[in-house]
């Protein structure tokens, strides 16, 4: 229950996230300028990032618009958000992540260095982070959701800290990936990821265009299932990449016009919307599908009568990186199985591939204790 309450609090923080925009050569064109979940942004610098770079090709501002000086060579990274950690892993940098947040460790511990130092995302131990001697620390606005810069001391110590605000659209996610690629010297790999994202989005859009209007379905996306402890339903409204994904697959988000970002609905309001499909990302409620199908007062909701209730992987849909494509494909197959049955997920095997690559690198690194000591400083 404690985890669920924490998750609800984190979702509430998502609702007030703000987006900083910039231009990118790897972009998707969303129907509206979107905004994403997961974090509250601090008031950083100018609030806008740019494509400017130094002589080495490194960005001179982070995604929040703060001026940064990123070292030419990156061998030691602290990643303080699971969405960022997953991007870095897919860029082939698992062996260079020397510390991370607790959520990253829980999700990707089998890929990262054994016994990697872990820090609380909201209250990190800044002294320990400084002691690691990292080349760069990647943070997100979630760490600043309480309104304070919890990495102030790290910055004062001269460590490069790059912040990424909450990305609200697929286009913004691609800009994030492009930034990380440029920051760590993996621009070509980042470009390939973005190209795969764009190709998948184009394929899905083509399929959606073939769905007749009278077959379009209304969908309720829920982050948490109502209960006595949390009686409201957190969902995705407009200006979120989840709403954008639902629109791309050809569905109608019943909460899309209710409110921007992350509204909390009463059960009565949700029932009145009468969705034809319910997608849940609730990973905290045991047997959540059956719970939803048997909730009192929901008996006449179309999705309940038709048993059109499906669970979407919470991590995949809520972490703003290339793997949201996996969630979008999953949405399409749940809502319109006949139309999307043959769509292949280009990112399905990335974690396994990264683990294999990391093992190869680690094996090579074991041959040189000096190199290991240099690339993986002790906590």
- Sign (positive or negative) of CA dihedral 73, 78, 79, 85: positive
DSSP state of 312: P
Question: Contact, 49 vs 179, CB < 8 A?
Answer: yes
d(CA 379, CA 160): 18
DSSP state, 45?
T
Dist CA 303 CA 217 (whole Å): 10
Q: Tell how far CA 134 is from the center of its chain.
A: 23
pLDDT tens, per residue, the chain with 379 residues: 445 544 544 444 443 333 333 333 323 333 333 333 333 333 333 344 445 666 678 999 999 999 999 999 999 999 999 999 999 999 999 999 999 999 999 999 999 999 999 999 999 999 999 999 999 999 998 877 677 899 999 999 999 999 999 889 999 999 999 999 999 999 999 999 999 999 999 999 999 999 999 999 999 999 989 888 888 999 999 999 999 999 999 999 999 886 678 889 999 999 999 999 999 999 889 999 999 999 999 999 999 999 999 999 999 999 999 999 999 999 999 999 999 999 999 999 754 454 444 443 343 333 333 333 333 333 3
What span, in angstroms and rounded, lies between the C-alpha atoms of 40 and 139? 12
CA triple 16-17-20, angle to 5 deg:
145
Q: How far does Cα 248 stand from its chain's mean position? A: 18
For residue 340, give both structure tokens. 């999307």
Q: Write the pLDDT tens digit of every residue in 139-148.
A: 998 877 677 8
Number of H helices, E strands in the chain: 16, 11
C-alpha closest to that of 352 among 93, 108, 81, 75: 108
At 99 the pLDDT is 98
How far is the C-alpha of 51 from the C-alpha of 25, rounded, in Å? 10
**Predicted local confidence at residue 375, as pLDDT:** 38
280: β partners:
222, 311
Upper half-sphere CA count for residue 172 (Cβ side, 13 Å): 27
Measured distance CA(281)–CA(317) in Å, rounded? 8
Residue 43: which residues within 8 A CB-CB, separation 6 or more?
Answer: none
The alpha carbon of 43 is separated from its chain's Cα centroid by a whole number of angstroms, namely: 21
Integer Cα distance of 73 and 185 in angstroms: 8
Whose structure tokens read 């990380």? 180
Residue 67 pairs in a beta bridge with: 61
Kindly give the interhelix angle for 241-248 and 170-183, rounded to the nearest 10 degrees: 120
Give the per-residue pLDDT at 49.
Answer: 44
- pLDDT for 320 equals 96
3 state SS of 148: coil
Task: Show the domains of the chain with their CATH numbers.
Answer: 2-201 (3.40.50.1980), 208-340 (3.40.50.1980)
- Contact (Cβ atoms closer than 8 angstroms) between residue 270 and residue 220: yes
Q: Where are the alpha helices (DSSP H) in 209-347?
A: 241-248, 267-273, 288-293, 302-305, 314-318, 324-335, 337-340
């Amino acid at each position: 229950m404690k985890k669920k309450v924490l998750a609800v609090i984190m979702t509430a923080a998502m609702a007030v996230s703000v987006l900083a925009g910039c231009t990118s050569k790897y972009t998707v064109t969303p129907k509206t300028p979107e905004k994403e979940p997961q974090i509250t942004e601090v008031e950083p610098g100018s609030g806008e990032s740019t494509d400017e770079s130094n002589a080495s090709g490194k960005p001179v501002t982070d995604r929040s618009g703060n001026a940064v000086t990123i070292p030419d060579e990156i061998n030691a990274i602290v990643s303080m958000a699971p969405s960022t950690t997953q991007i870095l892993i897919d860029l082939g940098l698992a062996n260079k992540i020397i510390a991370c947040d607790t959520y990253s460790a829980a999700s990707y511990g089998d890929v990262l260095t054994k016994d990697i130092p872990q820090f609380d995302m909201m209250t990190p131990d800044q002294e320990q982070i400084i002691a690691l001697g990292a080349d760069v620390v990647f943070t997100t606005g979630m760490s600043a959701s309480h309104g304070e810069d919890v990495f102030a001391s790290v910055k004062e110590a001269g460590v490069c800290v790059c912040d990424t605000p909450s990305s609200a659209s697929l286009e913004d996610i691609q800009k994030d990936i492009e930034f990380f690629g440029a920051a760590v010297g993996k621009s070509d790999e980042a470009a390939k990821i973005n190209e795969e994202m764009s190709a998948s989005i184009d394929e899905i859009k083509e399929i959606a265009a073939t769905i007749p209007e009278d077959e379009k379905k209304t969908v309720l996306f829920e982050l948490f299932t109502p209960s006595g402890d949390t009686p409201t339903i957190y969902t995705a409204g407009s200006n979120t990449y989840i709403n954008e994904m639902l629109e791309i697959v050809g569905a109608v988000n019943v909460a899309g016009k209710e409110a921007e970002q992350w509204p909390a609905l009463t059960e009565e309001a949700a029932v009145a919307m009468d969705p034809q499909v319910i997608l849940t990302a609730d990973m905290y409620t045991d047997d959540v599908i059956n719970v939803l199908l048997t909730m009192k007062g929901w008996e006449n909701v179309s999705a309940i009568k038709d048993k059109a209730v499906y669970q979407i992987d919470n991590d995949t849909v809520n972490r703003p990186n290339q793997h949201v494509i996996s969630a979008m494909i999953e949405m399409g197959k749940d809502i319109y199985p006949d139309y999307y049955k043959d769509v292949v997920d280009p990112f399905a095997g990335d974690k396994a591939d990264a683990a294999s690559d990391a093992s190869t690198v680690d094996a090579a690194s074991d041959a040189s204790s000096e190199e290991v000591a240099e690339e993986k400083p002790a906590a």
